[in-house]
Every structure is written in C-alpha cells, then in structure tokens.
Amino acid sequence: METKAARGRALTGLPVLVLVAGLIALTIVLGYIFFTLYRNSEYDRASVQMAADVRVLVEQLSQTATAASLGDDEAGRTMLRLRARMDAIWLDVEKNLADQLPAGQIAAFGLEWKRIQTQVEAIEAHGAEATSFRQAVAAARDATPRLRETTGVLGKTLIAAQASTAEVDAAYSLAAAAEKISAAITALSQPGRNVAEILPGLREQKEHFASVLSGLRSGDEAQNFSPARNQAARLQLAVAADSFRPLAAALDAIEGFAPGVVASQAATAAIIASRNNLVVQGDGLSQGIRGLGGADGEILPGFNITAVAIAGVGLLVAGLAVLAFILVADTRRRLRETAEANQSNQDAILRLLNEIQDLGQGDLTVEATVTEDFTGAIADAINYSIQQLRELVARIVNTAADVSAASDDTRATALQLSHAAENQSHEITDASAAINQMAITIDQVSANATESAAVAERSVSIASRGAAVVRNTITGMDRIRDQIQETSKRIKRLGEGSQEIGDIVSLIGDIADQTNILALNAAIQASMAGDAGRGFAVVADEVQRLAERSASATKQIAALVAAIQSDTTEAVASMEQTTAEVVAGAALSLDAGVALGEIETVSTNLAELIQDISTAARHQSTTAGHISNTMNVIQEITSRTLEHANQTATSIGELAEMAVDLRESVSGFRLPEVSPRPPARAKPTSTVPASPQPDVTQTSRQASATAPAMRHPQPHITSVLAESKAAMDEIDRLHPNQTPAHHPGLSHATVLADKKAAMDGTGLQRPRATPARERPVSHATAAHHAALEDIELADLQAAPSPARHSESAAPTTEIDLSGALHQELAEINLDEFDLDPNPDYSRR
C-alpha cells in the first residue's frame, strides 16, 4: 500500500508543479497587462480632468476678478481660492510631468498662468481701495433718493415764489443732474462697467449741481441768479443743500479711490484677454498626458493589449481546470488510503474500549493493554489517569470529611455571630428610639425658648416704648410746671393791680365824700341866698346826687376788688399747690422712667439669655440629630452584619451539604486493595514514555482539573469564607487560648483557611497539627462528628435569649459585641465631628 501511494504521488507531483509554475507566470503577465490598462485609463482620466479643471477655473477666475475689482469681498476671497487651486495644478504639472512632457509645452502653460497670476496679485493689492470704493458707492446710492426727492419739488417751489425763468430752469436742471448722478452711481456698482469712462461725467454733474445750487441760494450775476428771498424757497434750497452734502462727500471718496479700481479693472481685462490662451495651453497639456498612456492600445507592435488580455484569461481558466482535475483525482486516491487507515484505527479503538468498559461503572481496578497501534499511547495515558484517579478519589474522601467537620464548626460560629448581631440590633434600635425622643424633646425646648425669646423681645420693645412715654410725660410736666409758674406770676401781678385799683377806688370814695360835703355846703349857701341862689342850689343838688352815686359805685368797686383779691390769693395758693404736685408727679415719672429703664435692661438680658438657651437647644437638637443619624448608620451596619452572618450560616450549610454530596459522588468508585504499579509495556521498543511516579502537588492539580465544582465554589460562598476568616482572626486575637471543639491545637482562622484551601485545591499539602490528622477519616467517624455538631447547633438555637446573652458575656468563649459597642459609643465626643444630618447611604 505504501509503494502504491508513493507511485501515485510521483505520477501526479511533477505535472502539477509544471502546471502551477505556468499558471503563476501567466498570472504575472496578466497582472502586468491589467496594470497597463489601468495606467492608461488613469492617464486618460487625468488629462480630461485637467482640461476641464483649467477651463472651469479660468472662467470662474475671470468672473470673480470682475466682481472683486469693484470691491466685492466675497468675490475677492473666491478669486484667491481659485488662484490657489490653479497654483496646485501648475505645481503638480511642474513636479510630476516635467520629465515626461515637452519642456516648451510646460513653459508655455506656465508663462500664461504667470501672466494671469500677476494680474490677480494686482487686483489683490488694490483690494482695500476697491472695498472702500464699493462702500463710497453704496453711501452715494443711499444719499441719491433724498436728493432726487428734494430737487424734484424745488422747481415748483420757485415757481410758487415767483422766481425768474432762469432760476426756475436752473432748479429743473438740478433735478436732471440728480437723475444723471443716480444713473452714474448705479453704473459704478454694476460689474463690467468701466469706471474710468463714468467718472468724468459724474464729476461734471457734481460740479454743475454745486455751482447752480450755490447760485440759487446766494445769488450769481454770471448765471443771472438773485439771492432767494422767499422763505419757502430758501427753506427748500437749504434742504437740497443738506441732501447734496453727504452725496458730495461720497462722490469725493469715489474719486479718491477710483485709481485703484481702474487699475483692478485693467488687470481684470488682462485676465479675460489671457484666459483663452491658458485654456489652449491646458488642452495641449491634456493631450500630452493622454499620449503618455499609450493611446494606441498596443503592448507590442501588432499585438493589441485587450486581445492579449482576453487570450491570457482564457489560458488561465484552462490551466486552472486541468489543475482542478488532477487535484480531484489525487484527492480520491488519498480518500481511499485514509479509509483503509481509519478501518485499522477503528479496530484498535474497539479493542481499547472493550478493555476499559468497566471504568465507566466506577471500577478503578481495570488496566489497558499497551500495543504498537496509535492507541498504545492512549492506553498508557489511560493507565496513568486511572492510577491518578485512584489517588484522587482517596484524597477526595478524606478532604470531604475534613470540609464537613470544618463547615459545621464555622456554621456554629456564624450562628453565634448572628445571635450577637441580632441582640446588638435590638439595643441599637432602643438607643435610636431614646435619642429620637430626646431630639423631639430638645426641639420642643428649642421652640419654647424661641417663643420665649420673642416674648422677651416684645417685652423689651414695650418697656422701651413705656420709657419713651415716661420721658415724654416728664417733659410735658416740666412744660406744665413752667406754664403754671408763669400763670401764678401773672395772677400775682393781677392781685397787685387789683390792690392798686382798691387804693384808687378808696381815693375816689374820699373825693365823693368831699364832693358831697361841698354840695351840702353849697346847698346851705344857696338857701341862704334866697332866690338868687336857687339855680346854684339845683346844681348843688345834682352834684350831691352825683357824689352819692360815685360813693355807691366806689363801694361796689371796692367790694368787687376785694372779691378779686380774695380769688387771686386763692388762685395763687392753688397754683403753688399745683406746682408742687406737678413737681412731685415729675419726680414720680422720673422714678418710673428709671424703673422702666431697669425693666428694659432686665428684659434685654432676659432676651439674650433666652436666645442663648434657644441657640444651645438648637445645637443640642442638631447634635441629637447627628447622633440619631450615626445610630441609623450603626443600625444599618448591624443589619448588614446580621444578614451576612445568616448568609454565612446558610452558605456553610450548603458547603456541608456539598461535602456530603462529594462523599456520595465518590462512593461509587471501586478501589483495589493495594494500588498496583503501572503495567508493563507490550514491547520494550515502544516510543511511549514511561509514566512518572505522581507527586502530591501534581495529583492535587489533576484532581482539581477533574472536579471543577471543588476548585470553583460559588462566589457568595467565597465571600462568606473571607468574612468568616476576618471574624475568626478577631476571635483568635481577643481569645488566644480558645480553640475549636473538633480541631484541638488549631486556631479558628487556621481551620477556616483549611476549609478555603480545601475548596480551592491548594491546601492538600498543609501539614496537620497532630499526626493523627494524617490518617484518612472514615465515613463513620465523619458522620459521628457531623451528628455531634448538629446536636450542639440545635441546643444553641433552642436556648432562650437570656441564655445566649449569658453565653456571649463569658470572656473565655465568645465576644461581648454589644458591650464593646456601648463602650465605643460612650467614648465618642460628638463635638469633635462635623456630622452630616442627611447622610447618603447609597454610597456605602
């Protein structure tokens, strides 16, 4: 069979190599042909693109130059961009085609472009003047409508003012000049119009307008104009002058910037004159580029490149068909040989499967026969694997027993931690409730203090107002006392005046008495004279009666004066008494003012004290709130600790169940009484290496590879074991003499590390504490330990809460977590912390 296969390969090998070499050479030739076709098409495309670009760019350049010469900024920027594109085309031609195209053709194209480029630079140099020219034209165009409007009515105004015919004609000529100026300004803003031709006429119209307008306003003998005297005509002429003034300024600016615009327009005309020459030169370059690609389409004289490409493709397809036929025949031959080899391998595989059939039933006593077939190495590897499985199953049984015992210890410890955390949670809840009640009471005290402070402030305000009223009262009493004293003085002066009146009345009474006596004497004398004295007697009687009436009136006046003096005296006494009472009232008011001032001071001090009390109460309320928040945080931490402890107990229970399942899973394997050595090889010349003696580390790695459930426990179990290890470290630190019940001589953390290492497959080689732990643990011993631990856990769960408290209080067995927490809280000085009253628990 080997000779036949070698003969078949010899018959097909050389023709296939020759055919493949020919096809490769043909593929290279076709690649060159297709590259040539692609290069020619690229040359054609580049020539057409260049001609089109030059034609379009030159046309756009001439158009934008025309607009840019009149100050169009956007057109100027577009012109510069077009110049940059043309520069890129020229640089590309000069760099890439200088050695392929005729030098004269390239130089002619460059010369024409340099001419246009020079004109573009001239337009760019006058760009600022063109922009200013455009702005002046826009200003003149904006001023034209008003001038046309004012000059349009000027003629009618002069006719109404009975002006002369020459003046009226001049006014209408101003309107015509305004129209001509407007038309000229419009022409200046239109592209393609020659500024040099428009400016002389515009200047003439401006000078004519200014001359006529000045003559109409001020008079001009040369033009037969008299000064305007009509008010309406003078006003209209002034409006026309105001309208013409900005236009004249804009026209002056246009004349100032016109030389630059004229130069730009000349450059634009030169560009337009040269663009056709540049297009012609560009077409010439395009034809030259097209000629570079071999436009005749012949790769060799007499051989069209397209026909050669078609023939080459046909030969390539035929060669590929022949190669495919040869390969199919060779493949069929190989398939037949492979089928024969597969049949031989199938027989060897069936023999091997028959020998290891009992291995699937858990029989680890079987051994496979090592032969020279390809299954010999597999049989040797299977024998080695069986030996490793024997050792692995034994180790699994021992490890499962250790894991079960360790998980029971850890579960008991987790349950104790859970009970301690639950008690701590209850006590923290009670403390939080007391702190909350204290915070509510402090808030009420703060509210009452705040209200008392407000009342004290109102008392201070009322006392202040009362003191002000008392001060005003004292001031009013002082004014009343002054007025009473003034009134008393006037009454005294009135009493003195009445005294003088009494003296005068007494004098009048004496005079009346004397007059009466004289009248009596006159009557006696008249009676003594007889008839001659009768008239005198009548007078004497009248005088006597007058004296009697005067005496009577004098007595009445004396009585009235006496009464006035009596009343005046009483009034003076009353005034003096009132003055004394006013003085006494003022003294009392002053005392009241002093008392109110003291009340105000006391009220102010009281308000400050109450405010301090309110502030202190608010601080205490805030501190109580902080303490309450801290207790809430501790409550949450305790709840999480309780939850994690419960999860730990549950996970450790699952771990124990997994250990039991692990023992049950390997219970179906049947091990030999004495582990046999690896069987001898069938022939000593076998190339399969001898199986090395397995060490413990390699055995553990292979065992972990065959049991992924042991190497990769669930994530939550791993985290629970890590937390339990930290708790056990704390227990060992606080109680170094305490050891687990089922692992004497080992610490809690060491036992827990053994459990995790056993799960990870890394703790199989850790030396045990005592030689007794080196012996494998039997199923009966492991079951007995598990039963004892279940009984202890049941007793612990059934114990009442006081019993658990008493157990947790024992310093030699468990940790008093609640007492430690109370001690830590008592040592906290809340004034040293700036607690957040609204903590964000989501970040925890």
Q: pLDDT, tens digit, for every residue of 446-463?
A: 788 788 878 878 877 887
pLDDT-wise least confident of 358-367, 765-774, 826-835: 765-774
**DSSP state string for 601-648:** HHHHHHHHHHHHHHHHHHHHHHHHHHHHHHHHHHHHHHHHHHHHHHHH
Nearest to 655 by CA among 576, 724, 605: 724
| Mean pLDDT, residues 609-613 taken together | 82
pTM for the complete prediction? Answer: 0.32
For residues 123 and 194, give the distance between their C-alpha atoms in angstroms, rounded to a whole number: 15
Tokens of 681: 């090889």
Using an 8 Å Cβ cutoff, are 282 and 111 in contact?
A: no
| Mean pLDDT, residues 108-121 taken together | 78
| Mean pLDDT, residues 214-243 taken together | 79
Q: Give the dihedral of Cα atoms 362, 366, 370, 375; nearest 10 deg.
A: -20
- DSSP lists the bridge partners of residue 300 as 303
pLDDT-wise least confident of 19-23, 401-405, 574-578, 828-832: 828-832
Q: Give the dihedral of Cα atoms 579, 584, 588, 591; nearest 10 deg.
A: 110
Sequence-separated (6 or more) residues with CB below 8 Å from residue 642: 418, 421, 422, 425
Higher pLDDT, 295 or 553: 553
Using an 8 Å Cβ cutoff, are 495 and 569 in contact?
A: yes
pLDDT at 239 over 80: yes
For residues 480 and 494, give the distance between their C-alpha atoms in angstroms, rounded to a whole number: 20
The pLDDT of residue 527? 77
The pLDDT of residue 841? 36
Q: Which stretches within 97-230 are classed as H helix? A: 103-125, 127-152, 154-160, 165-188, 195-218
For residues 515 and 527, give the distance between their C-alpha atoms in angstroms, rounded to a whole number: 18
Sequence-separated (6 or more) residues with CB below 8 Å from residue 469: none
Sequence-separated (6 or more) residues with CB below 8 Å from residue 309: 30, 33, 34, 37
List, for residues 514-544, the tens digit of each pLDDT value.
887 888 888 787 777 777 777 777 787 778 7
For residues 63 and 288, give the distance between their C-alpha atoms in angstroms, rounded to a whole number: 28
Using an 8 Å Cβ cutoff, are 290 and 44 in contact?
A: yes
List, for residues 770-801, the tens digit of each pLDDT value.
333 333 444 444 444 445 545 544 554 444 44
CA 577 centroid distance within chain? 86
For residues 759 and 679, give the distance between their C-alpha atoms in angstroms, rounded to a whole number: 33
List, for residues 483-492, the tens digit of each pLDDT value.
887 887 888 7
pLDDT at 16 over 70: yes
Using an 8 Å Cβ cutoff, are 368 and 356 in contact?
A: yes
For residues 251 and 249, give the distance between their C-alpha atoms in angstroms, rounded to a whole number: 5
For residues 202 and 196, give the distance between their C-alpha atoms in angstroms, rounded to a whole number: 10
pLDDT at 352 over 70: yes
CA 454 centroid distance within chain? 44
Using an 8 Å Cβ cutoff, are 382 and 351 in contact?
A: no
The pLDDT of residue 698? 40
Q: Which long-range contacts (CB under 8 A, 24 or more apart) does 468-475 make?
A: 470/589, 470/590, 470/592, 470/593, 470/596, 471/593, 473/589, 474/586, 474/589, 474/590, 474/593
Using an 8 Å Cβ cutoff, are 320 and 26 in contact?
A: no
DSSP summary character for residue 830? G
DSSP summary character for residue 513? H
For residues 756 and 502, give the distance between their C-alpha atoms in angstroms, rounded to a whole number: 138
Using an 8 Å Cβ cutoff, are 682 and 377 in contact?
A: no
Q: Which helix (H) or strand (E) holds 304?
A: strand 303-304
Sequence-separated (6 or more) residues with CB below 8 Å from residue 97: 106, 285, 288, 289, 292
The pLDDT of residue 97? 64
Using CA of residue 58, residue 62, residue 65, residue 67, what is the dihedral sign?
negative
- Using DSSP's 3-state secondary structure scheme, residue 1 falls into coil
Nearest to 786 by CA among 400, 239, 222: 400
Using an 8 Å Cβ cutoff, are 378 and 685 in contact?
A: no
| Mean pLDDT, residues 467-473 taken together | 82
- Using DSSP's 3-state secondary structure scheme, residue 300 falls into strand
pLDDT-wise least confident of 11-20, 108-117, 287-296, 432-441: 287-296
- Mean residue pLDDT of the chain comes to 71
pLDDT band at 633 (very low <50, low <70, confident <90, very high): confident
Using an 8 Å Cβ cutoff, are 723 and 644 in contact?
A: yes
Angle between helices 165-188 and 127-152 (to 10 degrees): 150
User: What percent helix, strand, coil does the chain show, rounded to 5?
Assistant: 85, 0, 15
Domains of the chain, each with CATH number or no CATH: 126-263 (1.20.120.230), 405-645 (1.10.287.950)
List, for residues 374-389, the tens digit of each pLDDT value.
777 887 888 888 888 8
Q: Give the dihedral of Cα atoms 794, 798, 803, 805; nearest 10 deg.
A: 80
Using an 8 Å Cβ cutoff, are 661 and 461 in contact?
A: no
Using an 8 Å Cβ cutoff, are 432 and 631 in contact?
A: yes
Using an 8 Å Cβ cutoff, are 195 and 262 in contact?
A: yes
Nearest to 833 by CA among 556, 609, 625, 599: 625
Burial grade of 368 (CB within 10 A; 0-12, 13-18, 19 or more): buried
List, for residues 137-185, the tens digit of each pLDDT value.
888 888 888 888 888 777 787 777 777 788 788 888 888 888 888 888 8
Tokens of 385: 């694997």
The pLDDT of residue 620? 78
pLDDT at 809 over 70: no
Using an 8 Å Cβ cutoff, are 513 and 546 in contact?
A: no
pLDDT band at 680 (very low <50, low <70, confident <90, very high): very low
Phi and psi based region of residue 829 (left: phi greater than 0; alpha: psi -120 to 50; beta: remaining): beta
Using an 8 Å Cβ cutoff, are 650 and 338 in contact?
A: no
pLDDT at 692 over 70: no
pLDDT at 844 over 80: no
pLDDT at 822 over 80: no
